[in-house]
Amino acid sequence: MEMLSILRADGEYDPKLEPDLSDEDLVKMYRHLILVRKFNERGMALQRQGRIGFFIDSTGQEACQIGAAYALNSNDWVYPTYRDVGVCFLRGVPMKVIFDQLYANAQDYMKGRQLGVHWGYKEKNIVTIGSPIATQLVHAVGTAYAVKYKNHRVVTLTFFGDGATSQGEFHTALNFAGVFKLPIVFFCENNQYAISLPVRRQTASENIAMKAWSYGFEGTQVDGNDILAVYKAAKDTIDKARSGGGPTLIEGVTYRMGGHSTADDPSKYRNQSEVEMWKKRDPILRFRLYLMKKGLLSEQEDRKMQQEMENEVNETAKEAEKVAPPALSTMFSDVYEEMPWHLKEELDDLMKEGT
């Protein structure tokens, strides 16, 4: 299987494969790549300073998020992973809302009840993330089945890591999608590690994309650090799904530059020389060079954009940090439509204790 690639590491590209994107689209994609990188840097710093409890970094995987999500319509459904904050930004979720969730403050959409980076925003058709690996795949298939049943021209895009392909839900979801020819795109962000387990220890297959053929539909492998290739693959397969062509499995070959989470030390299971090799394939550096070669970005404009994104992230984080924690009484809400008597008594006792 030939891997789709348009951009080289030095910014050179194949003009025959360039997707049909305006100059404005290209610059917008770059701004979102920078925004995700700056958000990751700030999130890691906040956790290390003890100001938030948990964070999961996606540095190195930004092109998979932005490239794939850029091909969606606003009414399409997304089932992301905890690394895909770029999908939230791109679909219009305010950054303040995301930081509120990280701080679990009183303005948190989740009311402080979710683990950090486990967001979900129904207004943007982004379904809430869960920690168990691969469970979102069967949920995404359910949504795809529902929209097909209702004859809606809507596509479901679900993201997952290479580790998810070792779970039973991966088989269940792809098999069901193939049998019923559902309008869904499965996007595997193959970042080379399932926490500490390398992909070579997870499967004997030559690659992950080829697994799709076992379920009766197409699989395609793409350079996950090449945002143009990711967008082209996603756009083609999303359009195919929308027109009744059934599902596709995309494998984006990328790399997780940091640890699995703030609770992980990647130096225990991989060599620094490997990390340095992948740094040369940085998706942001590659796209920056491409934009400069096309005359769409200068060094001065890039520095300005980088500073603007950093300022926006830092100011938004400060604003969220000022918000108080949720009131203790909120732990009793949203459990029952009508609160039972014993919880009312407990709530009354809590309020008396608080006074």
Positions annotated as catalytic residues are 256, 260, 269
Bridge-based pairing state of the strands 184-190 and 248-253: parallel
Query: Residues of 204-236 as b/e, b for ≥16 C-beta within 10 angstroms?
Result: eeebbbbbbeebebbbbbbbbbbbbbbbbbbbb
What does the alpha-carbon distance between residue 204 and residue 341 come to, in Å, rounded to a whole number?
Answer: 57
Q: In whole angstroms, what is the distance from residue 26 CA to residue 296 CA?
A: 9
Element (H, E) at 193: strand 193-194
- 177: exposed, middle or buried (Cβ count in 10 Å: 0-12, 13-18, 19+): buried
H-state helical runs in the chain: 23-48, 62-69, 85-90, 95-103, 135-149, 168-180, 227-242, 272-279, 283-293, 299-321, 341-354
End-to-end CA distance of the chain: 68
